[in-house]
Amino acid sequence: MAGVRDSFWWEKLSPEEQQQVENEEWPAGETARYLSDHTRIEVEARVVWARDGEEWVRGHVTRWVRPVVLVELHDRRRQRVWLPAGDVRRVIEPGPDRGPPPDAEPVV
């Protein structure tokens, strides 16, 4: 992914860059506070931005507790957000054993 860098939660963004996420959903109670990070899983997340509307954004998941996952987004508008698991899908890169992704154009 050329031109995409990991986002960092500690970076300060200007108010113009930040955006609320309409489909944000936190885990119940104090659960999130005590979770440790897992192996990073590359994903695409359905994010409903307050100003920009619905969009699929690349990122990675490091924490999860049913029915939500913490997604670290590759986006300047927001770095981390808890989303419903149904709004997140794993990204499987094509490899030598896997062949092209299902939606890839046929090679002629």
CATH number of the domain residue 62 falls in? 2.30.30
Query: Is 98 part of any domain?
Result: no
pLDDT, residue 61, reads: 95
Q: Which position has the higher pLDDT, 99 or 108?
A: 99
Distances (CA, A) of 26 to 16, 19, 23, 37, 58: 24, 17, 10, 16, 20
Query: Is 84 part of any domain?
Result: yes
Query: Is 1 part of any domain?
Result: no
Q: What tokens appear for 94 in the block?
A: 């094509």
pLDDT above 80 for 101: no
Q: How many domains does the chain divide into?
A: 1
Q: What tokens appear for 70 in the block?
A: 């913490």
Query: Is 107 part of any domain?
Result: no
Query: Is 53 part of any domain?
Result: yes
Residue 38 domain boundaries = 31-90
The C-alpha angle 92, 85, 6, rounded to 5 degrees, equals: 55
- Can you say whether the dihedral through the CA atoms of 81, 26, 85, 50 is positive or negative? negative
CB crowding 65-97: b at 16 or more within 10 Å, else e? eeebbbbbbbbebbbebbbeeebbeeeeeeeee
pLDDT digits (tens, 9 = 90+) for 30-76: 877 788 888 899 999 999 999 999 999 999 999 999 899 999 998 98
- Note the pTM of the prediction, 2 decimals: 0.72
Residue 99: which pLDDT band, with cuts at 50, 70 and 90?
low
Query: Is 11 part of any domain?
Result: no
